[in-house]
Amino acid sequence: MTARTGVSLATDRPEPDALGRVEPGGGPPPVVISAAGLVKRFGQTEALRGIDFSLARGEIVAVMGPSGSGKSTLLHCMAGILAPDAGTVTFEGRQIERLSEGERTRLRRTAFGFVFQFGQLVPELSALENVALPLLLNNVKRSVAEAAAAVWFPRLSLEGMERRRPGDMSGGQAQRVAVARALVTEPAVVFADEPTGSLDTIAGEQVMELLTAAAAEQNTSVLLVTHEARVAAYAQREIVVRDGRVSGAAR
């Protein structure tokens, strides 16, 4: 149990640090998050019909499959945003549906990062403040949070744009800011739902290069939903979801 988060992320692993990180103990990459028998219904629609899936630490997995097959639902259940009707999601040895809502919120803030199709940056905040925001929500001092956020801008190829608002940036620039915001807490897992879906090829490649390089550097795992084969090619492994089931591993 940490004083900052109040969430004990594991019992048989080292204590998480101030940002909820746990160092891997060596050997083969351990499973960081897994789903077992995941079922999710929306009324009569069975969006997930029994999904088993694991993500190893540092692994990047692409989730492909037709529209409406359950990709976003899978991602939301694994991230603890949606509660499954049956089955379990285990993060670092703990079943997230057994956590209280408060503990799940803390987990999302400290251990998970999110990138969506449309960056969902806060329009009133500058690019720098948007990147710093997850740290501020974790009670990191503003000066420290903004200094940590500022480090990202050269890497985003956005030097000098720290004070710009998202509405005054291109879609690709704003999406790179969203990637930095997802990674600034050095989360264990980034959930990315069509992060390049609104971008052209070049801007999409820049986003994917940034996301995959930064994730590799931090040993962050990435669950990447995409329709595009060239985006999935950045992953080490692909799964295909059809009718709420994992229908195959493309590679």
Span between the terminal Cα atoms of the chain, in Å:
39
Report in angstroms how near the CB of residue 51 gets to ligand ATP at its nearest: 11
Cβ atoms of 28 and 19 within 8 Å: the answer is no
Judged by CB under 6 A, the stretch of 60-68, 120-128, 129-137, 166-174 that binds ligand ATP is 60-68
Q: CA separation (Å) from 128 to 93, 101, 109?
A: 34, 29, 18
Q: Choose from Mg ion, ligand ATP, none: what does 221 bind? Cβ within 5-8 Å by kind.
A: none
Report in angstroms how near the CB of residue 218 gets to ligand ATP at its nearest: 26
Judged by CB under 6 A, the stretch of 6-14, 18-26, 61-69, 153-161 that binds ligand ATP is 61-69
Q: Which two tokens stand for residue 136?
A: 């501020």
Strands in 57-208 per DSSP E: 60-64, 86-91, 94-95, 112-115, 189-193
Q: What is the DSSP letter of 13?
A: S
Sheet holding 60-64, edge to edge: 112-115, 189-193, 221-225, 60-64, 237-242, 245-248
Burial category of 26 from C-beta neighbours within 10 Å (exposed 0-12, middle 13-18, buried 19 and up): exposed
Q: Choose from Mg ion, ligand ATP, none: what does 206 bind? Cβ within 5-8 Å by kind.
A: none
Contact map string, positions 18 to 57, toward ligand ATP, x by CB under 6 A: ------------------------x--x-x----------
Does 72 engage in binding with Mg ion (CB under 5 A)? yes
Report in angstroms how near the CB of residue 45 gets to ligand ATP at its nearest: 5
Q: Which one, 45 or 100, has the nearer CB to ligand ATP?
A: 45
Query: Which chain residues interact with ligand ATP by CB under 6 A?
Result: 42, 45, 47, 65, 67-73
Query: Which chain residues interact with Mg ion by CB under 5 A?
Result: 72
